[in-house]
Amino acid sequence: MPTDIYRPAAIEQLTKVGRQLNIETFAVPQIKDPLTICKEAKAYAMKNGFDTMIVDTAGRLHINDEMVNELVDQKKFLNPRETLLVLDAMTGQDAVSIAGTFDTKLGVDGIILTKLDGDTRGGAAISIKAVTGKPIKFVGIGEKFDALEAFYPERMASRILGMGDVISLVEKAQEVFDEKQARDLEKKLRKDEFTLEDFKEQIKQMKKLGSIESIVTMFPGFNKFKGMINFSEAEKDIKRIEAIINSMTLKERINPNIIDGSRRIRISKGSGTTVRDINDLLKRYMEARKMMKKLTKGGMKGLQRQLFMR
């Protein structure tokens, strides 16, 4: 339920998000009083048998008495089980100040810290906990709906110290990857039947884990080679590969050998890339297939023989 009557299109935006997540949103744009919206929404929820109601209040960068009193009135009427304050980690010290003021005047039970993609913003989490004494319950590590995860202090500390966060990475992978799909993929690799269509599906699955940078930062020792990786270029490369594969027909993805010169020109035009990009992708794909074939044929020892006994 949105009670932000100030920001343009805020109610419409939350309603759209609700539809995308298949969550019913109570929105009455013509009502211009937050407390009245709360009363109407609570009556609707009780009448229709809802057992949970989430209220999204108006956000402010600058705190004033009128705004605080408005929130106090809403909290007093709703008597919520939990009051969570959402803060932007990129605002740094301002986020800490806002947290302290809100907790003193309104009383919060926990914090949600967004835009915590980089380890340098871990300091905000430490400061907010110190000032409010309230736990950080969730952190946002991206812009998509699934980029919200439970906050574990020891894991954040490990990332900051360059020790990685393998546990979180494994948990994410378990959520994203389907066990049956993984077994099917293994069979295809063993039979040398891995296609560009399979590659496309793997890219789609990997993107669900988050950005390349957010994934790599979870590996131990990341800080040692952090400056060697251009993450923005890597992300562009992934998008370029996706565009190329999407511009192919299913027949071409399954059997890239049929992609001759005229087909490469058509694919390059459809994907907004060059024929050279198409050639590079196909070359890398063929090399990867050869490598995987060696791995599945003779295991790691067989691959080592291929690499070092020439």
Tens-digit pLDDT profile for residues 217-242:
666 655 555 666 677 788 888 889 99
Torsion angle (degrees, nearest 10) of CA 157, 163, 169, 170 = -110
Query: 87: part of which helix (H) or strand (E)?
Result: strand 84-88
Asked whether residue 4 carries a pLDDT value surpassing 90, the answer given is no
Least confident range from 113-122, 141-150, 266-275, 298-307: namely 298-307
Torsion angle (degrees, nearest 10) of CA 142, 146, 150, 151 = 0
- Per residue in 79-133, pLDDT (tens digit) is 999 999 888 877 767 778 888 888 888 888 998 888 776 544 556 667 777 778 8
Helix pair 231-246, 196-208: axis angle to 10 deg: 140
* Closest C-alpha to 268, from 258, 280, 257, 254: 280
Q: Which residue has the higher pLDDT, 153 or 195?
A: 195
Asked whether residue 258 carries a pLDDT value surpassing 90, the answer given is yes
Backbone φ and ψ for 114, nearest 5 degrees, come out as -95, 170
Predicted pLDDT of residue 304: 45
* Closest C-alpha to 256, from 300, 288, 231: 288
111 beta partners: 85, 136
Predicted pLDDT of residue 169: 59
Q: Which domains does the chain have, with CATH numbers?
A: 10-161 (3.40.50.300), 176-308 (1.10.260.30)
- Per residue in 43-92, pLDDT (tens digit) is 999 999 998 999 998 876 666 778 888 888 999 999 999 999 888 877 76
- Per residue in 174-225, pLDDT (tens digit) is 666 666 766 776 677 677 778 888 888 878 777 777 776 667 666 665 555 5
